A and B are shown apart, each in its own frame.
Chain A
């Protein structure tokens, strides 16, 4: 069975600073990988996804993520954080051999200092 680990439960960064949110997965084949953002009381918004091809994926709102097979990682990055980026971020893996069901990481709460 697949699993996803987001090692950082909380991260605080200053506005304008760079950001990296970690995501490690466990899956026996090439996974489908996703990053979602959730504001309080809201649903999930897809930031970016990786299915195949270029391992550096560009998403919305200036986010990018890099798939590193050797490290089983799919870390999310943003060069300059805005106060509006404060939210909960979830990494998820889709398993091809399980009907593409998604397994979510525990989430990372991002706080942005002015």
Chain B
């Protein structure tokens, strides 16, 4: 149980285009989802926290107008990178947290990540 998927697993796009990444909790309801960014050979940095039905909370330094997050249902959150540029190329990882069905509120379950390359 507690499986999180991401789609796509990798994407290549042209500079100036927008890219949407989906994060789904497959077998539990995720009241909260988190989006992380990981540069090569670096650690994960939290970008934003999204709660179902409300606006996302962005970490300091993360542009909310560039990284649009929507958490429209208890099983789906999306991250849209708008007007992508080469410096946005990175590995984006989502995680989800549920607090029912035996899942601990204290634990996050991670997706497999999406590699974005902007040409």
Within the complex, which residue of B44, B46, B108, B113 is in contact with A42, where a contact is CB–CB below 8 Å? Answer: B113
> Quick check: A99 and B32 within 8 Å, CB to CB?
yes
Known: A99-B49, A100-B97, A102-B108. A41 touches B43 (CB 8 A): no
A77–B108 alpha-carbon span in the complex (Å): 22
Scan B34-57; emit 1 where CB is below 8 A from any A CB, else 0. Answer: 100000011111100100000000
Interface of B: prevailing SS: strand
A57–B73 alpha-carbon span in the complex (Å): 35
> Quick check: B112 and A51 within 8 Å, CB to CB?
no
The smallest C-beta distance from A24 to any residue of chain B, in angstroms, reads 15
Known: A43-B111, A43-B113. A105 touches B104 (CB 8 A): no
The smallest C-beta distance from B34 to any residue of chain A, in angstroms, reads 7
Scan A27-44; emit 1 where CB is below 8 A from any B CB, else 0. Answer: 000001010100001111
Compute the total of residue contacts between A and B using a CB distance below 8 Å.
53
Residues of B within 8 A of A51 (CB): 104, 106
Scan A102-114; emit 1 where CB is below 8 A from any B CB, else 0. Answer: 1111110100000
The smallest C-beta distance from B20 to any residue of chain A, in angstroms, reads 19
> Quick check: B112 and A104 within 8 Å, CB to CB?
no
> Quick check: B106 and A43 within 8 Å, CB to CB?
no
The smallest C-beta distance from A35 to any residue of chain B, in angstroms, reads 13
Residues of chain A from 70 to 114 with CB closer than 8 A to chain B in the complex: 90, 94, 96, 99-107, 109
> Quick check: A41 and B110 within 8 Å, CB to CB?
no
> Quick check: B44 and A43 within 8 Å, CB to CB?
no
The smallest C-beta distance from A69 to any residue of chain B, in angstroms, reads 17
A96–B113 alpha-carbon span in the complex (Å): 26
